[in-house]
Structure 1
Amino acid sequence: MPAPAHLHPLHLTLANGLRVSLRHAPRLKRCAAVLRVDAGSHDVPLAWPGLAHFLEHLLFLGTERFPADEGLMAYVQRHGGQVNASTRERTTEFFFELPAATFTGGLERLADMLTLPRLALEDQLREREVLHAEFVAWSQDAKAQQQVALLQGLAADHPLRGFHAGNRDSLPVEREAFQQALRDFHAHFYQSGQMTLSLAGPQSLQALQNLAQQFSEQLTSGPLRPQSAPAALMQGHARSYQHIAHNHLHHVITCDVPREALDFLCAWLNASAPGGLLAELKARHLANALQASVLYHFAGQAVVDIDFTLSTQNETATQIEALLHDWLSFFAHSDWTSLREEFALLAARQQQIQGALALARNDSQDLSEQDVVALKALLVSLHLPPSEHGWQLPPNNPFLRPPTREERAGLIRGQTSAHRGLRTFAQDRSRGRREVSALTFSQALAHDSDEAALYLQWRLAPSGLETAVQSLRENARQAGVELSFESLGKDSLVKMIGLQEPMPAVLDALAQRLNQPQEVQSTDSAMIAIRALLKVLPACCSTVDPQPVSWATAHWQGLGVGFPPAYEAAVKTAATRLPGQPAKLDHTLPALSGERVWHEVKTDSDEAALLLFCPTPSRSLTDEAAWRLLGHLLQAPFYQRLRVELQIGYAVFSGIRQINGQTGLLFGVQSPSVSLEGIADQLQNFLKQLPRMIENSDDLGNLALAQQFSVQTLPNAQAAELLWHAHLAGHPSGYLADLQSVIQTCSRAALQVAVGQLKDAAGGWRCVANGPRVSVAWQAAD
């Protein structure tokens, strides 16, 4: 594989003061923009907590030139991109990703909404209710409350200790004083000198610069306005403290150290290799997890949280603190040469694999000598005694570098070419059958990329599979491969998506782990209700086999996408070591045919949360195309109706979902104020409006949707996911082109037929909710 091109951004400051960061990456299939405003929740007047976040929401509600249904969010969703925004302590970010052909339209809408927001009173009243619902959810979220409690060790007058979540009380939109503060905040900060625009895409640097220049000309010009410096993080000479709650011990350090240096420290604190801090804590049964992270960094102030998940409720804080200090002392006096090389490799590998949006958001810098000096000074300032434990620096990531030698094809491990005759004809035939029967490779994507995807699915595999995946996930991620596990009832799915080069080694390591006894570890963690439902949805759509599971009875199959012949052969070789029997698995899901099945799932939240999954009546391309077009049409109206107009909840979404080759429409709602029965009623009411909505649509969106399935613009990860489900559904290799063609020719009449099928539950309905069924029209799941 050729060496990756350097992706250092080009930094410019335009005539109106807009700072620009440009990244040209020819491998990208999409473009991304990130607009950062140097103003956040800590910059608002003390009288109006939440004003910055409130303004971020209001900017998405449309302008005179681009009303909400033509604004940035609707535009990006219509063209299959992604869009969002985030308000932090001292910054607010707006970001989106789109195909190159539609990117200019996204930039026009972003500039317009930042510069000329409507700020209509009726919009503010509605959006305040949305923020209030978010505030209610936040106030009940265990992780959010733990974060608030964690920061109580800081100085009382530091803004990190303050209240910054908007609600009805803190956002009195009816008062003129608040309206004036809102307009002043927008005028003061939302102008060119206060902004940084980051663009990433396959275009040349000159083309990206031209786009940035056009964008800047739409902005209000203004100077860079310095943000007020915060109060001291801690009083007196104190620089650290401990916080214990909910089986977690937090060691918090405050300092004035560059972000890159702190990221370097956290990377090695978090290392799980033998000889490190976490390994020692586990060996002594003091903690079973460690996560060091930078919570805050602004104006020379930084807060680092070292979070230990305790193994027991015993008094272990003193022992853990002693080991932490001993490790920090060892680290301070170690030679960092190899670690710095490894850290640079990690950063380069992440840039090599990041998509357009992640690349545009990546503002990290190389670790400099000044950063190293600052970190050394921090560690010295802790006045730690000499280390007494035999610590070891973590070894190099084995997946970051190509293997030192490659095994010759057709040889048993340990043989040379002189031994080739020892392999019998029967062995070769058996091995060939094993590879071909279990693992196939799609030729639907060109081999001109260094990215690929590998899907492996087991039926009736033992639970150690998830543990094995977890143990390799971090090293694989660092090497450019996203390794994940998903439970699908009686099936288990492992995905590898990313760079081709490390995949054979990752697969080989996975096979080795699986052929050894695995200690089953719990991976459950608290999450909001709607996410908990999404996690169990695939299992609800499958069947649970009562027979015992073991590798002796397990079967597996796989699909590789994007591998050139050389890597295909290496993957096949590694796959021969996987446990279980290779076989073609049947993925026919239980037919519902008019049934409405209700799955009750317990969640940690009392808020009503509901998912409605409606599979297509068949797996034909005709049905899939019509339902995809229907999902494309109703996505924005569904969000507008339930979230904006009815304000049912803050988690409201719809779209196409595929589960084990089955395509369906998925609707999701979580509400702090409406019951499950109320949510279900509103879903039914919305579906009743679909025939009229389709009849009144001037443009059904055939072309815009069809373009999303072009292999020229579809990111490899998304293309691989589509091809995997097509493989399970039995579609031929030309699936993507065929789907495009059928979507383009899908008629209004065909859409109306699909609506009728949807309303009549022709493919069945599955409701997954955190409460009992709301009526006898639903059949309780077994």
Structure 2
Amino acid sequence: MQIRITAKRAVQGSLSALFGLLVACASPEPSSPSNSPVQSPNDRFAYRLITLDNGLETLLVSNPDTPKAAASLDVQVGHGDNPAGRGGLAHFLEHMLFLGTEKYPDAAEYEQYVTEHGGSRNAYTSFEHTNYFFDIDAEHLPGALDRFAQFFVSPNFDAAYVERERNAVEAEYQMGLKSDSRRGLDVLQQSMNPSHPFSQFAVGSLESLADRPDASVREDLLKFYDKHYSADVMRLVILGREPLDTLEDMATEMFSAVPNRGVELEQINEPLFVDAKLPMLVKVKPQGTLRQLEVNFQTPDYRADYRVKPMTYVSNLLGHEGEGSLLSMLKREGLADGLSSGTGLSWRGGVLLSLTISLTEQGVAEYERVLQGVFAYLELLRSQDPMEWLYQEQAAVAALGFRFRESSEPMGYVSRLSNAMHYYEPDDVLQGPYLMTDFNASMIKGAIGALNPDMAQVVLTAPEVSTDRISPYYGVPYSTLGPEALMLSRWKAGDVDGLHFPAANPFIAENVELVAIADDNPAQPELLIDEPRKRLWFRQGEDFRVPKGAMYVSFRSPLVAASAEQKAASALYTRMVNDAVREYTYPTLLAGVGFNFYSHGQGISMRVSGYNEKQFALVEELLTKIWEQEFDPARFERIRRSLVLGLQNTVARRPTSQLIDDLRRALSTGSYDEEDLIAALEKLDVEALDAYRDEFWESVKIEGLLYGNYVRSDVQTMSETLDVLLQTGAGAPALAPEVLRIAEGDDLELRAQIQHNDAVVAWYLQGEGQTWRDRAMVSLTAQITESGFFQQLRTEQQLGYIVSSFAWPQYDVPALMLLIQSPSHSAEHVYGAMQQFLLDTAKDITEEQFDRHRQALINATLKPQENLGQRAEFYWQSLATREWDFDSPQQMAAAIESISYADWQQAYRRMFLEDRRSLLALTPGAKGLPSKDGAEVFESPEALREGRETLIIDLAPL
């Protein structure tokens, strides 16, 4: 946050008073201080902290109304604990725990149980942590929790799956070979202190996990598990409908057998970088067109000082994007497009603060000028003592966040909490991330002092750089220069004007009172303004009582996606608008009010959401800025070039993402080839974009939604505010989207040439129609096949890391998607395995399993929204599809309920075996093209679409 020094006296008093009030509100006396953490007044859950006899610290969360139960267990062990030479062992262990236990030996048991009862499961391995989590329909928590607990009591580590899962880890490693984030990490690890454990290979491969003469990988796996997986370094969170006493009984019964091995966590005393090798300049050649500069500093580990949060104060200043900021200066000179700052990597002994700057091509050429800006801003921070008023402003925003914390998805919530339990005192487990109550100027000054140019590691990533070596695991070209080869004086020299601290943030909410709910508040959004060119809907947020609101506006037009030229122009125009207002809107973002302006198939939308007190003033100013905007030619050229480079960067995206994009282009309107979009962008100039803007605003019709802490009269205010953009005339209706119709029995094949060794197969199987029953039939099939497809083709057959079956509708045209990326098998083999799976599914699914899947899908369909934002999104999507009764979940659930086992069997054979509407998209990888008889083969999405009938999606015009 950048706040002008001269504004200090004007804001300090009101902010201090507001902060004091919020802290008081956010810290109610817990009902049982010994075992209940402090919770938000807006939090209606019940909590209890317990420690089992084995030392396992557990947080119980009771929500009688939750449709989903969830649990997470976090082990304080990660890839930083890998034994020397066993890169990826912690990650490999994470994979293995899912594959059978002594009590539940079937490797598919856990996955199948969770999926059949409406749940999902996953895990991740980081440097210090391995985190396991799942959710499930609430009534089935005991069964899922018992299976989950056995991971940490008696896993099998079946030798057969040890061999198979090594292949899964290898597939994950291969998948990342063209990922610039993974490649950048590989170089970072090569440039750091080799004695620091973070320098180790993290993912793992067949080579690092191979059996050795002195020990098999399974033996090392067992030793690692026995050494590190101990109750005293675990944290468990369970969320369910049951009362706290019942949840405590479940935790005690199921997790008390987890062994406590008395693990002592050691400090890491080795520095991340060797001082004698700093400052350091690393140059990295990316896979795609990535251009960025990272400036990294090792700082002390302040995680125990979470009531101070010194790095939050520093990062907020470095990462500010408002007037006087580092980013503002870099943009003004044409050197950068974006900037972020934060502490991504932490360990017991230190933290890595990273400043990441998205460079222009000029910025790459003048990267030392960028560094001059960075170090000039750091010198500005050092030039005066930390500002308490600025700290209190940040603290007030954080306190607001806790005071009005809203519910989120249970699985993500328990996963975050189980990790947080390692770092916060028991009372602060919930509020710890929000606390900034202890301003400590000397600590903050010490944190700033660690950001010394002499101790910086600088990483320049760009296609233009010269390199002299290759990283070992991802084959990344890079070079490294140490202090003896650098001219640090050039990084510090030069005049840098215009840098200053931010002004006081005028958007921080001060009035957080809730409006009264009107007696006539509609049960669903009500159309209050119905004019030829403007329709506005309204509902008060009766179910989510927070001082927030969602103000969404769609400027519908036929001029945004009917051609590649329109698509390019609308994308460039919205980027220009966002860039032009960024200095103004960034303080609103810090204050909890978000703004977005973006193009889509039906027009351009504007969203303003968050604390509603000052939204109307914000929107009025934004619309005026949009209406009066003049395009700066230099900034136009830089943004256009940035869009072109982004389109050229598709080679660095996941092959599955590239293939899905090709498939989307073949199936529906509004998507275009990157080369066509690049050509369209290169033809645009300032005058052409100005003409496009005028034509766009002449054509628009407005549809808007006001949902949340508003009153009915706010709709009229919104209407009058929007009139600044409405011109005379009738406007034009948005174009109706179209979806390719695949006829019964069609067997189409789309081949894509993607630069990757893996074969990728995406098999699209279109449903029979667009009715609710058609959609329900396909969604039910996706639910039924999800677990078995993963289990059979990934776990058993080891075809690849990405193996997924899911519903993939285009607008309201339903379809089943089977997707596999395989480093080890040909596209032909993968397609054959998919076919066999579909055949086996028809025979293997019992009526009892069908009933469980059907109920799970009904529960998922009727699952209520967790917070105001999710409810607003549901309303907004309903308006976009003209479902003005807002009852699509009920319609879908009724259709699912009506399908019997016999109905499904008959429809399944017809749609997916005998008369399927099939489009197979694939890229052959290193294994070559398949020999497939009978299919019509197309080399491009455009060739496939040519001359084929499309389904026009019936969207009633405004």
| Superposition TM-score tier, normalisation by shorter sequence | 0.7 to 0.9
Supply the distance in 1 between the matched residues of 2:622 and 2:915 (Cα, whole angstroms).
Answer: 41
TM-score (norm 1): 0.83
Match of 1:340 among 359, 383, 391: 391
Are 1:252 and 2:296 counterparts? yes
Q: Is the 8 A contact 1:256 1:302 kept in 2?
A: yes
Q: Is the 8 A contact 1:488 1:539 kept in 2?
A: no
Q: Is the 8 A contact 2:758 2:821 kept in 1?
A: yes
What does 1:46-195 correspond to in 2, within 5 Å? 46-66=84-104, 71-173=109-211, 176-195=215-234
Q: Give the partner amino acid of 1:551.
A: F
Are 1:666 and 2:817 counterparts? yes
Q: Is the 8 A contact 1:614 1:766 kept in 2?
A: yes
Supply the distance in 2 between the matched residues of 1:768 and 1:395 (Cα, whole angstroms).
Answer: 53
Q: Is the 8 A contact 1:487 1:538 kept in 2?
A: no
Supply the distance in 2 between the matched residues of 1:121 and 1:26 (Cα, whole angstroms).
Answer: 42
Residues 279-332 of structure 1, C-alpha deviations (whole Å, 9 max, x = no match): 111112222222323232111212222222332365533322222122112223
Supply the distance in 2 between the matched residues of 1:101 and 1:747 (Cα, whole angstroms).
Answer: 23
Match of 2:861 among 709, 729, 738: 709
SS of match in other structure, 2:530: helix
Q: Is the 8 A contact 2:53 2:256 kept in 1?
A: no
Could you say which structure has the greater relative contact order, defined with CA pairs below 8 angstroms and 6 or more residues apart? 2
Q: Give the partner amino acid of 2:858.
A: A
Shift of 1:125: 0.8
Match of 1:551 among 693, 696, 720: 696
Shift of 1:278: 0.8
Supply the distance in 2 between the matched residues of 1:482 and 1:79 (Cα, whole angstroms).
Answer: 36
Are 1:329 and 2:372 counterparts? no
Match of 1:378 among 440, 447, 471: 447
Are 1:229 and 2:271 counterparts? no
What does 1:457-606 correspond to in 2, within 5 Å? 458=556, 459-461=558-560, 462-463=570-571, 464-465=573-574, 468=577, 511-512=623-624, 514-515=626-627, 516=629, 519=636, 520=639, 522=642, 524=646, 526-534=652-660, 538-544=664-670, 550-552=695-697, 554-555=699-700, 558=703, 560=705, 563=708, 566=711, 569=715, 581=731, 583=733, 586-587=736-737, 589-594=739-744, 595=746, 605-606=756-757
Q: Is the 8 A contact 2:146 2:254 kept in 1?
A: yes
Supply the distance in 2 between the matched residues of 1:441 and 1:769 (Cα, whole angstroms).
Answer: 46
Q: Is the 8 A contact 2:578 2:596 kept in 1?
A: yes
Stretch moving more, 565-574 or 183-192: 565-574
Shift of 1:180: 2.8
Supply the distance in 1 between the matched residues of 2:114 and 2:591 (Cα, whole angstroms).
Answer: 31
Q: Is the 8 A contact 1:489 1:539 kept in 2?
A: no
Equivalent in the alignment of 1:620: 771
Q: Is the 8 A contact 1:657 1:666 kept in 2?
A: yes
Match of 2:330 among 281, 291, 294: 281
Residues 361-394 of structure 1, C-alpha deviations (whole Å, 9 max, x = no match): 1535423547653331132355789997442333
Relative to structure 1, the CA distance from residue 264 to residue 440 in structure 2 (aligned partners, 3 Å threshold; closer, same or farther) is same
Stretch moving more, 304-313 or 599-608: 599-608
Q: Is the 8 A contact 2:774 2:814 kept in 1?
A: no
Q: Is the 8 A contact 1:442 1:733 kept in 2?
A: no
Stretch moving more, 46-55 or 345-354: 345-354
Q: Is the 8 A contact 2:406 2:867 kept in 1?
A: no
Shift of 1:437: 5.6
Supply the distance in 1 between the matched residues of 2:510 and 2:797 (Cα, whole angstroms).
Answer: 56
Across the two proteins, how many residue pairs are aligned to each other? 757
Supply the distance in 2 between the matched residues of 1:446 and 1:576 (Cα, whole angstroms).
Answer: 28
Instruction: Give the RMSD, CA atoms, in angstroms.
Output: 4.4
Residues 563-614 of structure 1, C-alpha deviations (whole Å, 9 max, x = no match): 4762772665655556694857634534333345555666564433343333
Residues 605-635 of structure 1, C-alpha deviations (whole Å, 9 max, x = no match): 4433343333432221111222211111000
Equivalent in the alignment of 1:367: 436
Shift of 1:236: 4.1
Supply the distance in 1 between the matched residues of 2:870 and 2:658 (Cα, whole angstroms).
Answer: 23
Q: Give the partner amino acid of 1:392.
A: H
Supply the distance in 1 between the matched residues of 2:504 and 2:241 (Cα, whole angstroms).
Answer: 32
Relative to structure 1, the CA distance from residue 670 to residue 349 in structure 2 (aligned partners, 3 Å threshold; closer, same or farther) is farther
Residues 265-289 of structure 1, C-alpha deviations (whole Å, 9 max, x = no match): 2232122112100111111222222
Q: Give the partner amino acid of 2:273.
A: M
Q: Give the partner amino acid of 1:749.
A: A
Residues 738-768 of structure 1, C-alpha deviations (whole Å, 9 max, x = no match): 3223222311222124324532797844555
Supply the distance in 2 between the matched residues of 1:538 and 1:714 (Cα, whole angstroms).
Answer: 30
Identity of aligned residues (%): 21
Q: Is the 8 A contact 1:240 1:253 kept in 2?
A: no
Equivalent in the alignment of 2:7: none
Supply the distance in 1 between the matched residues of 2:592 and 2:247 (Cα, whole angstroms).
Answer: 26
Relative to structure 1, the CA distance from residue 559 to residue 65 in structure 2 (aligned partners, 3 Å threshold; closer, same or farther) is farther
Equivalent in the alignment of 1:751: 904
Supply the distance in 2 between the matched residues of 1:243 and 1:323 (Cα, whole angstroms).
Answer: 19
Stretch moving more, 261-270 or 19-28: 19-28
Stretch moving more, 275-284 or 196-205: 196-205
Relative to structure 1, the CA distance from residue 262 to residue 531 in structure 2 (aligned partners, 3 Å threshold; closer, same or farther) is farther
Match of 1:741 among 874, 889, 894: 894
Q: Give the partner amino acid of 2:229.
A: Y
Residues 243-286 of structure 1, C-alpha deviations (whole Å, 9 max, x = no match): 33343322221121414432432232122112100111111222
SS of match in other structure, 1:593: coil
Shift of 1:448: 4.1
Relative to structure 1, the CA distance from residue 477 to residue 273 in structure 2 (aligned partners, 3 Å threshold; closer, same or farther) is closer
Shift of 1:24: 7.0
Relative to structure 1, the CA distance from residue 388 to residue 44 in structure 2 (aligned partners, 3 Å threshold; closer, same or farther) is closer
Equivalent in the alignment of 1:393: 501
Equivalent in the alignment of 1:264: 313
Structure 2's unaligned 5+ residue stretches are: 1-20, 28-38, 41-46, 286-290, 304-308, 421-431, 454-491, 515-526, 561-569, 673-679, 681-691, 943-958
TM-score (norm 2): 0.69
Are 1:434 and 2:594 counterparts? no
Relative to structure 1, the CA distance from residue 306 to residue 186 in structure 2 (aligned partners, 3 Å threshold; closer, same or farther) is same
Q: Give the partner amino acid of 1:298.
A: W
Supply the distance in 2 between the matched residues of 1:367 and 1:350 (Cα, whole angstroms).
Answer: 12
Supply the distance in 2 between the matched residues of 1:245 and 1:214 (Cα, whole angstroms).
Answer: 53
